[in-house]
Amino acid sequence: MKKAIAPAPPTPVGGPAERLALIHSVLAAEAKAGGHPPPALIAISKTFEADSIRPLIAAGQRLFGENRVQEAQAKWPALLAETPGIELHLVGQLQSNKAADAVQLFHAIHSVDRPSLVKALAKAVAAAGRQPMLFVQVNIGDEPQKGGVATADLPGLLALARSEGLRIEGLMAVPPADRDPAPFFALLAKLARDHGLSGLSMGMSGDYDIAARLGATHVRVGSALFGIR
């Protein structure tokens, strides 16, 4: 029998400032209840045009997430020129042949998941002289349709990344959609502790509150901020 899924956090309403305020208040309360500092909030702006993003920037949001390098290259240079201090996070799967572009554009990459990508990133980092914050994506629910390294292969991938000179900050995961996310978040946190990693990129619009309570350092929220795509 499947475990019941926890209720979703409150649905933000109102303008960008009101939605941001509600989400931040939930994150702060849940993180405090779990004994953790509040996580960073990444606004997932994939598929949204610049005119939909600017109101959130005006409301004070500075961390944004994209799924595709090409989409980010098309819309973000102008937005970055308008507002200093914005950080871009790549949260979607990264093709090895796009590693150099990703290293140039993004402040963080949340989807390191295979040896070929580790090697491509190491080469790109050496060439660019800069390294984004890197998270290894773990296929925490062992789902064949999802990206991410299998939990059994995580130690080997981390060892390879370190041998290539990459600095891995933490782990990222997306739990199965039809299951209670809490055990998967707890497992990801344990894996991070076991490997001496402090970063935990976990939690989205439907479960960011649970992720904050269980120690997320970064949550990835899209529809709760932007509305349904």
In a domain, 7, yes or no: no
Domain residues for 153? 16-226
Q: How confident is residue 108, by pLDDT bands cut at 50, 70 and 90? A: very high
Instruction: Indicate the number of domains in the chain.
Output: 1
Q: Could you report the per-residue pLDDT of 138-197, keeping only the tens digit for each? A: 999 999 888 999 999 999 999 999 999 999 999 999 999 989 999 999 999 999 999 999
Query: Whole-model pTM?
Result: 0.94
Q: What is the pLDDT confidence band of residue 229, given thresholds at 50, 70 and 90?
A: low
pLDDT of 33-54, one tens digit each? 999 999 999 999 999 999 999 9
Instruction: Give a yes or no: residue 9 inside a domain.
Output: no
- State whether residue 40 is helix, strand or coil: strand
In this structure, is residue 3 part of a structural domain? no
Q: Which residues contact 31 (CB under 8 A, 6 or more apart)?
A: 37, 38, 39, 212, 213, 216
pLDDT reported for residue 5: 57
pLDDT band at 80 (very low <50, low <70, confident <90, very high): very high
Report the C-alpha gap between 15 and 206 in whole angstroms.
19
Q: Compute the average pLDDT of residues 91-102.
A: 97
Share the mean pLDDT of the chain.
94
Domain assignment present for residue 172? The answer is: yes
Q: In this structure, what CATH number is given to the domain that contains residue 40?
A: 3.20.20.10
In a domain, residue 1? The reply is no
- In a domain, residue 54? The reply is yes
Which segments within 33-167 are labelled E, that is strand? 40-44, 63-66, 87-90, 108-112, 133-137
